[in-house]
Amino acid sequence: MRLATWNINSIRTRVDRVLAFLEREDVDVLAMQEIKCKPEQFPREALEAAGYELAVHGLNQWNGVAIASRVGLADVEVGFPGQPTWSSKEGVEPVVEARALGATVGGLPGPDGAVSDPVRLWSLYVPNGRELTHPHYAYKLEWLRVLRDDVAGWLAAEPAQSLALVGDWNVAPRDEDVWDMSVFEGATHVSVPEREAFAAFEGAGLTEVTRDRVTNYTYWDYQKLRFPRNEGMRIDFVYGSAAFEGRVRGAAIDRNERKGKGASDHVPVIVDVD
């Protein structure tokens, strides 16, 4: 089974690139973030015609997550238990944002007839945090804490499950995950509390499965010629349980997807599992 995760930064704008990527890389399951649309606005017909089932969660023109699978899609879950809420404006009732979507993928034959054991997959778009003194930063840390505690509970109840948490984590866990640490002094994504929150998933029983298999950035800002200068960040990751990590046979970061007209500012991260 070939899994990929991609912050697509508007599926309606980039559906043609998604379809081309799925075909070119022979992807079985794609987790998407920042789809930026409601379910009824999602270009469902195009992906279904390519052979993919869909689970889509979006509330407005911001955020949004989705999963596309051609090897089975079941037990869809919108949001994780206790997911923190957020309000963008004072006096507006906080809501659970469209940032987390779970589904069980696998169990059905792929195009080659092979059947993969199921994987419990979560497509995640972790809050940005904005600034260290901003309420969004506290929201981000709480969001990660609650998710980490949920993961620990899931694995305590079912230690042998193949669980994968994939997506845009909005954390650069190591200094080498940004092009110049001095640029990020006093900024989010690299602060100690964020890095500790990211590392806490290891204590819950997960392993980041791409780190030792591939090296590259996964995000380049549109501004200041960041991509031509290779001034990027590595903030898209795949965290897996022991059962999932044991099935991983390779990983890749498709840097070429940042090239050309109409590219997302993120690129796909790909994992091959038995």
Tens of pLDDT, residue by residue over 4-25, are 999 999 999 999 999 999 999 9
Tell me if 105 is assigned to some domain: yes
Look at the alpha carbons of 102, 103, 106, 109 in this order and tell me if their dihedral is positive or negative. negative
Instruction: Output the pLDDT for position 91.
Output: 77
Select which of 168, 217, 236, 239 is catalytic. Answer: 168
Query: Is 180 contained in some domain?
Result: yes
Residue 41: exposure state from Cβ atoms within 10 A (0-12, 13-18, ≥19): middle
User: Is-catalytic flag, 139?
Assistant: no
CA distance 177 to 185: 14
Q: Of residues 125, 139, 219, 239, which has the active-site annotation?
A: 125
Element (H, E) at 193: helix 192-203
What's the pLDDT score for residue 108?
85
Residue ranges making up the domain that contains 154: 2-268
125 classed as catalytic: yes
Q: Report the CATH number at residue 134.
A: 3.60.10.10
Number of domains in the chain: 1
Nearest to 105 by CA among 157, 60, 166: 166
CA distances from 82 to 1, 99, 143, 209 (A): 31, 13, 9, 26
Does residue 236 fall inside a structural domain?
Answer: yes
Q: Does 221 participate in catalysis according to the annotation? A: no
Residue 274 falls within a domain, yes or no? no
**Tokens, residue 38:** 């409601």
In a domain, residue 186? The reply is: yes
pLDDT of 238: 98
Mean pLDDT, all residues of the chain: 97
pLDDT for position 88: 78
Domain annotation covers residue 132: yes
Is residue 273 in some structural domain?
A: no
The one-digit pLDDT tens for each residue of the chain (274 residues) are 999 999 999 999 999 999 999 999 999 999 999 999 999 999 999 999 999 999 999 999 899 999 999 999 999 999 999 999 999 787 789 999 999 999 999 988 888 888 889 999 999 999 999 999 999 999 999 999 999 999 999 999 999 999 999 999 999 999 999 999 999 999 999 999 999 999 999 999 999 999 999 999 999 999 999 999 999 999 999 999 999 999 999 999 999 999 999 999 999 999 999 9
Answer yes or no: is 69 within a domain. Answer: yes
Catalytic residue among 177, 189, 217, 266: 266
In this predicted model, what pLDDT tens digit does every residue of 51-105 receive, in sequence order? 999 999 999 989 999 999 999 999 999 999 999 999 978 778 999 999 999 999 9
Annotated binding-site members for Mg(2+): 7, 34, 168, 170, 265-266
Q: What is the pLDDT of residue 178?
A: 98
